[in-house]
Amino acid sequence: MLDLTTTFSKPNSIVTPFLRSFMGTFQVGIRNAIADSSAVHNMYVKAFDIEEAYDIAMEIIKPYDMIVKDIVAPGDEIYGEDNSADADPLPVLRIRRDVGFGF
């Protein structure tokens, strides 16, 4: 299951503390691709800009069949608000069985 209590950064990358100090922590609203509610769960991503935050979030949530609904930059007035009360439950990691191995 996806742990939303941590702050994510780009998978398999090495970032020095000095470089990390120039990154912002973006709030990314995510939800199931097929959902009963438009409410979102929030995850936090360390990135230089919104585009990089989107790319990192998509890489992390893609195996869970989820989508990014919105990205809030640090300092925005709605940053940190939790709107997940009506959100659908987080999905469990989905393993695709329809992908063939050439047999």
User: pLDDT tens digits, residue range 5-49?
Assistant: 888 888 888 888 899 899 999 999 999 998 888 889 999 999 999
Kindly tell me if the per-residue pLDDT of 55 is higher than 50: yes
Task: Tell me whether residue 46 is in a domain.
Answer: yes
pTM of model > 0.75 = yes
Tell me which of 14 and 80 has the higher pLDDT: 80
Domain housing 57: 7-72
User: Picking from 16-25, 75-84, 87-96, which range would have the lowest pLDDT averaged per residue?
Assistant: 87-96
Average pLDDT score, the chain: 86
Task: Tell me whether residue 26 is in a domain.
Answer: yes
Query: E-strand spans in the chain?
Result: 7-8, 24-32, 41-47, 66-72
Number of domains the chain contains: 1
Task: Tell me whether residue 77 is in a domain.
Answer: no
Task: Tell me whether residue 88 is in a domain.
Answer: no
Task: Tell me whether residue 44 is in a domain.
Answer: yes
Q: What are phi and psi of 26, to 5 degrees?
A: -90, 140
Task: Tell me whether residue 81 is in a domain.
Answer: no
Two tokens at 72? 């809030």
Cα–Cα dist 74/69, whole Å: 17
Task: Tell me whether residue 35 is in a domain.
Answer: yes
Task: Tell me whether residue 95 is in a domain.
Answer: no
